[in-house]
Amino acid sequence: MADAAAVAGADRIAAAFADHGRRAALMPYLMAGFPDRDGSLAVGEACVEAGADLIELGVPFSDPLADGPVIHTAATEALARGATVDSALSVCESLSARVPVVLMIYANPVLARGAERFARMAADAGAAGLIVPDLPHDEAGELRAACDAHGLALVPLVAPTTTGERLASICAQARGFVYTVSLTGTTGERSQLPPELSRTVERVRAAAPVPVAVGFGISTGEQARRVAELADGVIVGSRVMRAAGEGGAQAVREVVAELAAALAAD
C-alpha cells in the first residue's frame, strides 16, 4: 500500500490541470543535470517562478528515441558532466515541493532497477508521475501496477498515427493525463503547428477520461495559445532547453513567462 504522500503525487497532477486559472496548464520540459545539477535546479525554479503549473523533468539517457537535437544535446552534456538517475531524482526531490514533477525517462533505466523498485524511488523523490516513451502500451502493465501502488501516474503517449482501436485501449488505462504528440517525428521547434492537430486532439479527447496535453513542436506564445484552444495542457521542451543553453535560468524565466502570458485567460 502506498503511503499518503505518494498517493497525493498523482492527485497533484489532477489539481494542476483543474486549478491553473489559464486557458490550459503549462508544462515546461527541462533536462536534469543540464547545464549541470545546480544549473538544472535553477532552471526548474525559474520555470516555477515564471508560471509553470507542472514540470516534465527529463532523465538523461545515452540513446533516446523521441528527442530532437536540442534535447539530445542537453542529455549528452548532462551525462558528460556526471548526471545519473540518482542525481536526476535529487533534482526532482528539490522541485517537487513547489510543483508537480513528471519524470520523462526511457525504459532501460527503469527495467534495470525493476518496476517496483523504480516506482518507489520516484515516489520517494516526490515525483507525481512517469512518462516512458519507449515502453509499449502492451508491455506497460507491470510498471503501471507499480506506479498505481506508489501513487504515481504512468502517463501514456499517443500520436496522430495511433489507430482508433489502440487509442481506446491506451486511454482506458491512462493515468494523470494523455500526452498527445502533435506530429510524427522527434521533439524540436517548428515554425507552424501541424494542420491535422485539431483532429488529433479531438480524437484523443473523445477517448480520454483524463486531461489531454499536447507536446512536440510548440515554441512560441502564439502556438501555445492556439494549442490551448484545443487541449488541457501545453508542453514546451526544445524552446525551453535552447534558452537554458543560451542564457541559463534567466533566459528560461523569460521564455516561460511569455508562454504563461499567452495562456492567460481573457
Reported as a single tens digit per residue, the pLDDT across 15-30 is 999 988 889 999 999 9
Cis peptide before 160 (omega within 30 of 0): no
Give me the mean pLDDT over the 26-49 stretch.
96
Range with lowest mean pLDDT among 55-59, 180-184, 225-229 = 180-184
The pLDDT of residue 192: 63
The pLDDT of residue 19: 85
Q: What total number of domains does the chain contain? A: 1
The pLDDT of residue 66: 63
The pLDDT tens digits for 127-174 are 999 999 999 999 999 999 999 999 999 999 999 999 999 999 999 999
CA 157 to CA 186: how far, in whole Å? 13
Give me the domain span that covers residue 225: 4-262
Catalytic residue numbers read 56, 67
Residue 5 has pLDDT above 50, yes or no: no
Whether 177 and 13 have beta carbons less than 8 Å apart is answered as yes
**149 contact partners, CB below 8 Å, separation of at least 6:** 1, 2, 116, 119
CA 150 to CA 144: how far, in whole Å? 10
- Cell numbers found for residue 83: 548526471
The pLDDT tens digits for 178-213 are 999 876 544 444 456 666 888 999 999 999 999 999
- Beta-carbon-side half-sphere exposure of residue 115 (alpha carbons within 13 Å): 15
| Strands (E) located in 73-198 | 101-104, 129-131, 153-155, 157-158, 178-181
- Calculate Rg over the CA atoms of the chain: 17
The pLDDT tens digits for 239-255 are 999 999 999 999 999 99
CA 46 to CA 255: how far, in whole Å? 10
- Residue 4 confidence class, pLDDT cut points 50, 70, 90: very low
- Cell numbers found for residue 148: 498505481
Residue 61's closest CA among 37, 77, 46, 47?
A: 77
- The domain that holds 133 is classified in CATH as 3.20.20.70
Return the higher-pLDDT residue of 2 and 154: 154
Share of the chain above pLDDT 90, in %: 78
The pLDDT tens digits for 102-137 are 999 999 999 999 999 999 999 999 999 999 999 999
- Residue 65 confidence class, pLDDT cut points 50, 70, 90: confident
What average pLDDT does the structure give for the chain?
90
CA 34 to CA 254: how far, in whole Å? 18
Whether 222 and 55 have beta carbons less than 8 Å apart is answered as no
The pLDDT of residue 63: 79
